[in-house]
Structure 1
Amino acid sequence: MTEQDALEDYRTYLTVNKGLSPQTVRAYMADITQALHVLELRGIDTLDAITLDDLRSWMAHELHGGLTKTSLARKVVAVRGFFDYAQTHGMCRTNPAAQLATPKQAVRLPVVLSENQAEKLVEVSSQDHNVLALRDHAMVELLYATGMRVAELTALNVTDIDFSQHMVKVTGKGNKQRVVPVGAPAMRALAEWMRSGRGALLAEGEETTPAVFLGARGGRINQRVVRRVVHESAAVAGVPDVAPHALRHSAATHMLDGGADLREVQDMLGHSSLSTTQRYTHVSLEQLRAKYEKAFPRA
């Protein structure tokens, strides 16, 4: 099997078996192809000829070329996954990337709004009552109430909402589904949008679209529009300019501050690893330290 055949096999595996999005698959394959190309330029043109030292040399080449450690870490994960698959399926005798470590990075805490700032952001999105305003308010409320990702919000279908149980079914990365509770304010905003706004935006011929949130032309809303709505709401509310993902971070942090269990937050966010969720405990501790130093006279 040629190297190109191995790459195509892996592309199919990521798409069919792993269920990754086309964008994610393209990014992974571009990272792997670029790494193999660098090694080919050095005369290493078969998978069996690649060693751990070769891959470390490739990493050094990337850093020397100005690639950030964060971007390189993503590439290393992609390369490790490919070689693990290649060895498992008999495409190479050994896995040279098995011991390939990602570059150490400084811990960056997520951007988080305070509870007061989040409240202002949600309130400002509810001030108008036209069709688009009803939609925008419901989106902002739902993003903060559930901590869902933008892609998950735009993928919501009408059948995913359980108004009687105050629950919503969310389809996350890898098509993994989870059921997330929704608070009363967000549920009211969602019900108002469904009752008084959604029907008005259904474009002619698209009455059967299953999407919860619609664009101005009646089709499923674009992620770019959701991001614009959050940025504009933040500007009007006078809070720090944030992207929708900051509402996800804020929801998780505020839940932990309120006494939620780490596992509960992990389930709500759809994190596969608890270590990902644990970042928010660091945010809570940093905020506690800041409040302590400001309020305690002997701090």
Structure 2
Amino acid sequence: MTEARIGRVAGIYLDHLAVEKGRSKNTIEAYRRDLDRYLEWLTAQGIEAVDAITPDVVEAYRADLTRGWGGHPPLSAASVARMVSAIRGLHKFAHAEGHAGTDPLIDAPPVNLPTRLPKAITVDEVAALLEAARFGDGPIPLRDTALLEFLYGTGARITEAVTCAIDDLDLTAGAVTLTGKGGKTRTVPLGNYAVEAIEAYLVRARPGLNPTDAGLFRNKRGGRLSRQGAWAVLKDVAERAGLSADISPHTLRHSYATHLLDGGADIRAVQELLGHTSVVTTQVYTLVTVDRLREVYATSHPRARR
């Protein structure tokens, strides 16, 4: 077998993820960044051949990620686990496709991290956020209100929201078709508040933003609102509402799921609404609601405390 260079194999692997696995552009870029750092470290060690990478080499890299190296700061356990996961996928692919004689991580156990509960804000905080979005004149407050009502009203991922087209909406039925990971689509309901906000935006605001295509949410120049633009909208509105600076579009998705379960929704229904392939992914939200029930019990039951 011809000795393969790790840099070339990494490029083939990224093409495989994009073309054959259908991973999104954002996912591919995340993998590219993680693998570029791995390749940088291997080059510094004088390692170029795939078959020169042993379990000890990967462990040494993991240790350097943890303590920092070459001007890179130390990474958290979660970031290290993510990078090792990218490396695991690369070496598994290299071995399966015949670019390497062995897989140095084939016997390595997966990194188990403590379960991190998703962050959610309260119903009152959501109301404050949406009220703050309405502040001001012109088309932008109407767009911002529609965007945030859409995110909270559907539990959509930020990419699903900014790639949504007008044709994906059925405002009469109160529903929208979202395109999620891997190009999978699902139709979810839109609540009355979201429908009203979107209708107001479409009639009174979107035409004034000079839209250049059928994308739903527009920026000030008429193009599609980007992921970064949507983040900026939420950051600005959260600041005006006096809420925590670490609120993200995903916070609204977490809040959507948590509030549904708090209200008695079936976990399987929430799984479908969120577009999770496995209910195991959705079950993390049940931990949040159990914690809340525990708090209620501790403060309300006469024999909860001594």
What is the aligned counterpart of 2:25 among 22, 26, 46? 22
Quote the Cα distance in structure 2 between the aligned partners of 1:81 and 1:272.
20
Identity of aligned residues (%): 37
Q: TM-score, normalised by structure 1?
A: 0.89
In the alignment, what sits opposite 1:223? 227
The answer to whether structure 1 residue 38 and structure 2 residue 41 are counterparts is: yes
Cα offset, 1:40, TM superposition:
5.0
Deviation of 1:55 (Å): 1.8
Is 1:58 equivalent to 2:61 in the alignment? yes
TM-superposed CA distance for 1:129, in Å, is 6.0
User: How big is the shift at 1:281?
Assistant: 1.0
Cα separation, partners in 2 of 1:186 and 1:129, compared to 1, 3 Å: farther
Residue number among 243, 248, 255 corresponding to 1:250 in the alignment: 255
Structure 1 segments (4+ residues) deviating >6 Å: none
Offset from partner CA, 1:47-94 (integer Å, 9 cap, x none): 223233332232122213222111111111111111222122111122
The 5 A counterparts of 1:256-271 are 256-271=261-276
What is the CA–CA distance in structure 1 between the aligned matches of 2:33 and 2:135, rounded to whole Å?
45
- Native 8 Å contact 1:72 1:103 kept in 2: no
CA contact (8 A) 1:76 1:100 kept: no
1:71 to 2:79 alignment: yes
Deviates more, 1:51-60 or 1:255-264: 51-60
- 1:110 pairs with one of 106, 118, 143: 118
Q: 1:45/1:128 Cα in 2 relative to 1: closer, same or farther (>3 Å)?
A: closer
Q: 1:73 to 1:269 in 2, by over 3 A?
A: same
Alignment-mate amino acid for residue 77 of structure 1 = S
State the distance in 2 between where 1:167 and 1:98 align: 45
CA RMSD, 1 decimal: 2.2
Which residue does 1:234 correspond to in 2?
A: 238
Q: Aligned to 1:60, what secondary structure does the other structure show?
A: helix
Closer/same/farther in 2, CA of residues 32 and 233 from structure 1, 3 Å limit: closer
Is residue 2:141 matched to residue 1:136?
no
Cα offsets for 1:77-135 (capped at 9, x unmatched): 11111122212211112222223334443332222111222223223334556311111
Query: CA separation of 1:232/1:39 partners in 2, compared to 1, >3 Å: closer, same or farther?
Result: closer
Matches of 1:295 and 1:199, distance apart in 2: 53
